[in-house]
Amino acid sequence: MDTQAIFVAMQCGIPVLLWGGPGIGKTSFVNAVTKHTNRFGVTVIASIREPSDFAGLPIVQDNAVDGQLVRLAAPQWAIELIKNNGGILFLDELSTAPPTVQAALLRVILERQVGEVTLPDDTWIIGAANPVDTSSGTWLLSAALANRMLHIDWSLSVDAWVEGMISGFETLKGLIELPKDWRSGIPASRSIIASFIRHKPTMLYNRPEDMESAGKAWPSPRTWDMASTVHTAARAAKLDKDNELALLQSTVGEGAALEYHTWERALDLVDPEYAIKNSSTVKFPKRSDQVFAMLVSVVAYAKTRLTPNIWDACWEILGRAAELGHADLAALPARMLHESRAAGMSTPVDIKKFVPILQAAGLIK
């Protein structure tokens, strides 16, 4: 994965963990990103911190108005991030943090909660870690902590190093800034990933048996949700297929990402906008997983721009699917569409085709 893709990952708002041996430039890159983006940056070395430096330091109050005699005070690094309305929190040497410190980091990583304060939304959390076989004094990451982060293998680039030696490792060039509306594509990505999980349900949760693999990227409901975000960002940044796949691997692991990537490329789905404009004539694919993915993508697209005409066109597509024997596949998309109904949009006759299925599933009365 190149630095362009790593920078795209950082902009997603999901904690990023850079893996690599000592001295290969992880810290220098994070410092360069901090300078490049003109963001406030703070470095916290996890191995020399106590759990209270992340969970909050208990402070006894003499005159507690609300009756709470003990409060969890935030450390200075968190206060500085709040004062600056966010920035970059760099958790260096994360793999040298003992299990007690890793446990205290869980809420920081997932919820940005430090003691009784919450870090600003515009806070990028970036970590750096050394693999166990590259340095002494390292700990395996707990599965709970690992499953909250993107795991990126930092590779040493000779060309980048030579350029950095000449420039002083202070500048980054040509990094892609995500467009302001890039998150609008997340619902579509979620719909395709949900279609894949429906096709391959064993991929929803597959925690590795060995502890070392569990300390990296692996598929879970949380990481598939993260995958939908980075998948959208990769498309918005127009990254090449190799970097797009690498970003997926950073969320759900190599095996799951490869299987999803192969499945998605074989879908060959019709464009949702085209399908809605040609609702009475659009052709349906042959495989059931393709039909389901097509219907979900059409509804996901429609929900973001719903008008009476689009509403009617979607129901026409769902109705045709039911007539072709795909009523069971159309049931969930039908419920999704019905829940997005706006005032003035009448319930079409086609919805009656789905009532028995939705009732049997307990989705409607």
Q: pLDDT digit of tens for each residue in the chain (365 aa)?
A: 888 999 999 999 999 999 998 888 898 889 989 999 999 999 999 889 999 999 888 887 776 666 667 778 889 999 999 999 999 999 999 999 999 999 999 999 999 999 889 999 999 999 999 988 776 678 999 999 999 999 999 987 787 777 777 776 656 777 889 999 999 999 889 999 999 999 999 999 999 999 999 999 999 999 999 999 999 999 999 999 999 999 999 999 999 999 999 999 888 889 999 999 999 999 999 999 999 999 999 999 998 889 989 998 998 999 899 888 888 888 888 888 888 887 778 766 666 666 766 665 565 66
- For position 327, what pLDDT does the model report? 84
CATH code (residue 17) = 3.40.50.300
182 domain-assigned: no
7 and 136: one domain?
Answer: yes
* Structural domains counted in the chain: 2
172 and 24: one domain?
Answer: yes
Residue type, 258: L
Last residue of a domain, one of 177, 203, 225: 177
Match 């409607």 to its residue by tokens.
Answer: 364
Residue type, 95: S
Taking the C-alpha atoms of residue 342 and residue 365, their distance in angstroms, rounded to an integer, is: 20
162 and 48: one domain?
Answer: yes
Q: Is 145 exposed, middle or buried (0-12, 13-18, 19+ CB in 10 A)?
A: buried
Last residue of a domain, one of 160, 177, 194: 177
42 and 152: one domain?
Answer: yes
201 domain-assigned: no
365 domain-assigned: no
Last residue of a domain, one of 119, 150, 177: 177
Q: Are 115 and 80 in contact (CB under 8 A)?
A: no
pTM for this predicted structure: 0.86
Q: What is the span of the domain harbouring residue 172?
A: 1-177
Residue type, 150: L
57 domain-assigned: yes
- For position 261, what pLDDT does the model report? 94
- For position 125, what pLDDT does the model report? 97
